[in-house]
Amino acid sequence: MNHMNPPKGRMARFRQAAANSFRTHRLFWLFTLLLWTKSTIAYQFFFNIPIDNAMQSFILLINPLSSTLFLFAFSFFFSGNKRKWALYILYAASSLILFADTTYYREFTDFLTVPVLFQSSNMETLSSSFFSLLQWKDLLIVGDLIVLPFLLWKLNETGKASRKRVIATFVAAAAMFGFNLALAETERPELLTRSFDRELLVKNLGTFNFHVYDAMLQTKTSAQKAMADGSELAEVEQYTRQNYAAPDPELFGKYKGKNVIAVSFESAQNFTNHMKAPNSEYITPNLNKLIEESHFWPNFYHTTGQGKTSDSEFALDNSLFGLPRGGVYFTNADNEYNALPERIKQEGYHSAVFHANNKSFWNRDQMYANIGVDSFYDQDYYDLGDPADMTEWGLLDDEFFLQSVPMIEELPEPFFAKLITLTNHFPFTMPSEEHELVPKFETNSTTLNNFPQALAYQDYALGLFIDELKANGMWDDTIFIVYGDHNGISTNHNAAMADLLGKEEITPYDVAKLQQVPFAIHLPGQEEGVVHDGIGSQIDMNPTIQHLLGIDTSDQIGFGNDLFAPERNDRAIFRDGTMITKEHVFTQSMCYEAETGELAAEPEACEPLEEEANRVLEMNDAIIYSDLLRFREQNE
């Protein structure tokens, strides 16, 4: 029976070694436990991460461990009391990163990336929103950073970690990461190579590992442009030719030479169309009226990512998606594009953008100059003198529209004018009671409750603008477009949204459908509205406008289709890889029946959708990261 003694001996030695480690390096293990606990708290109470099975729960539980062990292993390079302060600094930095993630997630239901951190010119405008996001529960993430220095001051750390200890800790961190990744790959194959969903990455790898992965991606994409040789362009050109949809011959060029006005309707979503406020008044009566007199697509979706409003502009101008990380307006504003302002300039059009905000917000001044915008009317062109006409984000929309009309009247004709609204912006608070045109919603979400008041004021301003265009004679000579730029209510408010919409819960299918935003085109002389049941998205706006003006897009590179085209692709692809067709909705790795919202009886029916969405997004990102269109310009 002596052959049983060695295992018992090894187990005893392991227990003894573990006890010695906890006793000798108690602060290392204390900080490891604290950061692990904080990460778990963030997952449970700050991030809305769906869990479908026990394996996903286990992965979520262990995924903070590898990064925590790796991070705190660096403290072993210090000895004595220097080690405890090294541990505290590492712990404080990690806590602040976690705090930044939770705060950013609260508004955008997304995680910070390196490109977002470089969008420093937006910080001044964003500061007021940041403070409105703070909650008492944030003390769970950063509160102990104030107390810990006083406790550490009284503790003396002695001894020095052996080289063997340092190596063992780093090896343990690597082994834990390998184990974590192996489990994650069983849940989501090709996680690191084919995922555009940051939530999926965080769920499987953890927040800190995600940030390391994101930094590696940033390094790779920074070098991608320099290494590109244009070889990827052929595949993109072949795909876009095959994806081209010929225009409706009755509409193609019918409105050649007409003015075009496009209004970016901030944070609007279709669920409020024809919805009544608690006082039984319609929230958006003017938008409702416009829809009834225009071409309208109820199944129209935004395609934005972290670039938000600027991503919607990018889609309109280029028929391309933004980037998976950050805003293309910041990261690739100097690329070669074949944008709408440049295209219509060849047809004699003057392009202008109106936005009563800082010209550098979203780096607009640089991007507009690059894509051929002729005139940019930023806040310097507006009278901002009366504080009553201001919100946290800038000029109220009624004043914005009224002050814009005289400037529009001075534009050379024909013109393409884009107006970017501001009032209906998070946190959706109005300057005073007199600006509150409808009562608030009555849910457990302050953000959702505020939403109808800001939206109603934006709608009121839209009505004033349309009246002014009719009064000065422009209305009958203008293609007038209203499009929602992105969703206003994030998934952090799903419980309140379910209550408002009378649902038991908001499923991933519902989340996808809630990304519908208004899109209406009123054509010159149109009196009766037409509702189109096709599926479209923001990348479809560009070819739709060009075809109405008689501009051939068959040689252009873009992933959208004319919404009036008889043989168009009825689909919408989201920046996170979600894809919607008339038959199915593929989102968050799940397949739903489009009509019923029930899980598809045959989930494999969505496999082609997933492959197509990934292919399109990969080609889109290659166009931007590698600046592929410069090679096309060189060849022409």
What amino acid positions are annotated as catalytic residues? 309
Inter-axis angle of helices 607-625 and 233-243, to 10 degrees? 130
* Among candidate residues 62, 76, 63, the one with its CA nearest the CA of residue 28: 76
What are the b/e assignments for 486-520, b being 16+ CB within 10 Å? Answer: bbbbbbbbbebbbbbeeeeebbbbbbbbbbbbbbb
CB atoms within 10 A of CB 360: 15
What are the b/e assignments for 144-160, b being 16+ CB within 10 Å? Answer: eeeebeeebeeeebeee
Paired strand residues for 353 = 376, 418
Positive or negative: CA dihedral 539, 563, 578, 190:
negative
Q: Residue 115 has which token pair?
A: 């490109």
Distances (CA, A) of 380 to 126, 354, 356, 384: 19, 11, 8, 9
What are the b/e assignments for 336-353, b being 16+ CB within 10 Å? Answer: bbbbbbebbbeeebbbbb
Please give the DSSP secondary-structure letter assigned to residue 37: H
CA 161 and chain centroid, separation: 44
Inter-axis angle of helices 207-227 and 81-108, to 10 degrees? 80
Distances (CA, A) of 447 to 101, 126, 396, 429, 454: 19, 16, 19, 9, 11
Give the largest Cα separation in the chain, rounded: 103
Alpha carbon distance 272, 298 (integer Å): 12
Helix-then-strand count for the chain, H and E:
25, 16
